[in-house]
Amino acid sequence: MLETPDAIILAKFRNEVTRHEAFSLLVKTYQQRLYWHIRRIVIDHDDANDIVQDVFIKVWKNLASFREDSKIYTWLYRIATNECITFINRKKLRSIVSLDDLGEKLAEGLTQSAYFDGNKLELKLQQAILTLPSKQRIVFNMKYFEAMKYEDMSKVLGTSTGALKASYHHAVKKIEKYFKEH
């Protein structure tokens, strides 16, 4: 789908008459990208669905005061990523299992999920990704699956490009190690 320029969406959203039209445009433009970004982090479809809806509701509440010093796209990704991190932390607190076991549980869930359609190698890669710390996992996913530029990732995650490159490099090394051991 062709992206509608941010300025048009914002101008329409700030007008009471065209607000719903603008929001609808925004959802249609970004829903898939945001959903997959979230899904790759939380794995489960139902969790991803809840989070993506929460993200768009937050956007509805705050878009009128969006300051335009960044693109809507990076702003949306920032909200989505923060929501995912909050969700994971809450899940960690609620869970009696350790963080490593939580990753293992998610990896087990992959094979049982009706919404997983990967082959053996793709499954192994997802299992390897789930052994990474959550922020490293996010960096790996954004770079590897979405081919996001480090500059954009830096705006989303508030981390320097140097640190992001290092984080990605470490993630790849850990995944390689996992592949050798399994």
Partner 1 sequence: MNAEGHINDEPNFLKETGNRTPFSTPENYFNEMESAILSRIANNRSVKPVNKTQWLSIAASFLLIATVAAIVYTQLKTPADLKLSFEETVLTEVDEAVLAEVLEKKQENATTLFENEVMNNVDEQTLIESL
- The contact set with partner 1 (CB under 8 A) reads 13, 19-20, 23-24, 27-28, 31-33, 35-36, 39-40, 43, 45, 49, 52-53, 56-57, 60-65, 115-119, 121-126, 144-147, 172, 175-176, 179
CB proximity list for 174: less than 8 A, separation 6 or greater: 128, 131, 132, 136
Beta carbon of residue 103, minimum distance to partner 1 (angstroms, whole number): 17
Nearer Cβ to partner 1 (8/64): 64
Beta carbon of residue 177, minimum distance to partner 1 (angstroms, whole number): 11
* Spatial separation of the C-alpha atoms in residues 20 and 23, rounded to whole Å: 5
Beta carbon of residue 19, minimum distance to partner 1 (angstroms, whole number): 7
What's CA 161's distance to the chain center, in Å?
18
* Spatial separation of the C-alpha atoms in residues 67 and 159, rounded to whole Å: 20
Nearer Cβ to partner 1 (28/98): 28
Beta carbon of residue 27, minimum distance to partner 1 (angstroms, whole number): 5
Nearer Cβ to partner 1 (2/121): 121
**N-term to C-term CA, the chain:** 40
Beta carbon of residue 129, minimum distance to partner 1 (angstroms, whole number): 11
Nearer Cβ to partner 1 (36/73): 36
40 close to 110: Cβ distance less than 8 angstroms: no
C-alpha count within 13 angstroms, C-beta hemisphere, residue 33: 18
Nearer Cβ to partner 1 (70/94): 70
Largest distance between two CA atoms of the chain: 59
Nearer Cβ to partner 1 (57/166): 57
CB proximity list for 28: less than 8 A, separation 6 or greater: 1
* Spatial separation of the C-alpha atoms in residues 87 and 92, rounded to whole Å: 9
Beta carbon of residue 71, minimum distance to partner 1 (angstroms, whole number): 18
